[in-house]
């Protein structure tokens, strides 16, 4: 670290403090050349995560898009904003833990559908109908039949 006053390259750390959320460390330093003190801030560099769309375009990951899609799917359903926020947090945490620089949009959609299927069946079907872009009623009915079958298996196994 170069001293901002004299340019000397050697200093010593006099004091270190973590910010309240733990994201930044504040270090108070003393130059070994001129003796003046200065402050530096250390934080983790945020590497952007890109979403690869179906047509090959890339855009920066935006958690608000997931939030808005889930809110729209849950409209007029007995799902609280806290439940929605918790689901979005869980999806984002999973994505950031499992992917370094890129994720396919389809993978995000599948994570959202998986979460919605556990949260609210109607919201799940709403989201799936838009996300999967069903070509006809048969495809839509097939999705509903799979959902009903999964629920029936869960009830027999002691789930839901």
Counting the structural domains of the chain, the total is 2
pLDDT digit string, tens, across residues 7-48: 999 999 999 998 777 778 999 999 999 999 999 989 877 788
Query: Are residues 60 and 126 both part of a single domain?
Result: yes
Closest CA to 33 of 51, 55, 11: 11
Query: Are residues 19 and 89 both part of a single domain?
Result: no
Query: Are residues 133 and 91 both part of a single domain?
Result: yes
> Quick check: is 152 in a domain?
no
DSSP 8-state code for residue 49: P
Helix pair angle (81-98, 63-73), 10° resolution: 140
Query: Are residues 62 and 98 both part of a single domain?
Result: yes
Query: Are residues 72 and 28 both part of a single domain?
Result: no
pLDDT digit string, tens, across residues 82-134: 999 999 999 999 998 898 899 999 999 999 999 998 999 899 888 988 877 77
Whole domain around residue 64: which residue ranges? 50-139
pLDDT at 30: 97
Give the separation between CA 152 and CA 147, rounded to whole angstroms. 9
**pLDDT at residue 154 tops 70:** yes
Query: Are residues 39 and 118 both part of a single domain?
Result: no
> Quick check: is 6 in a domain?
no
Query: Are residues 111 and 130 both part of a single domain?
Result: yes
Query: Are residues 18 and 64 both part of a single domain?
Result: no
pLDDT at 158: 59
Query: Are residues 16 and 67 both part of a single domain?
Result: no
pLDDT digit string, tens, across residues 37-56: 999 989 877 788 999 998 99
- 39 touches 67 (CB < 8 A): no
**pLDDT at residue 159 tops 60:** no
pLDDT at 45: 72
> Quick check: is 135 in a domain?
yes
Query: Are residues 76 and 126 both part of a single domain?
Result: yes
Q: What is the pTM of this model?
A: 0.65
């Amino acid at each position: 670290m170069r001293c901002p006053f004299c340019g000397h390259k050697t200093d010593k750390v006099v004091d270190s403090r973590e910010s309240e959320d733990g994201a930044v460390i504040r270090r108070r330093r003393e130059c070994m050349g001129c003796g003046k003190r200065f402050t530096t801030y250390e934080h983790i560099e945020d590497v952007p995560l890109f979403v690869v769309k179906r047509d090959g375009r890339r855009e920066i990951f935006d958690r608000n898009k997931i939030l808005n899609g889930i809110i729209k799917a849950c409209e007029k359903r007995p799902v609280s904003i806290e439940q929605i926020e918790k689901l979005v947090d869980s999806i984002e945490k999973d994505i950031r833990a499992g992917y370094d620089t890129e994720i396919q949009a389809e993978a995000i959609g599948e994570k959202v559908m998986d979460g919605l299927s556990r949260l609210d069946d109607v919201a799940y079907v709403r989201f799936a109908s838009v996300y999967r872009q069903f070509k006809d009623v048969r495809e839509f009915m097939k999705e509903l039949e799979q959902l009903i079958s999964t629920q029936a298996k869960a009830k027999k196994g002691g789930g839901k």
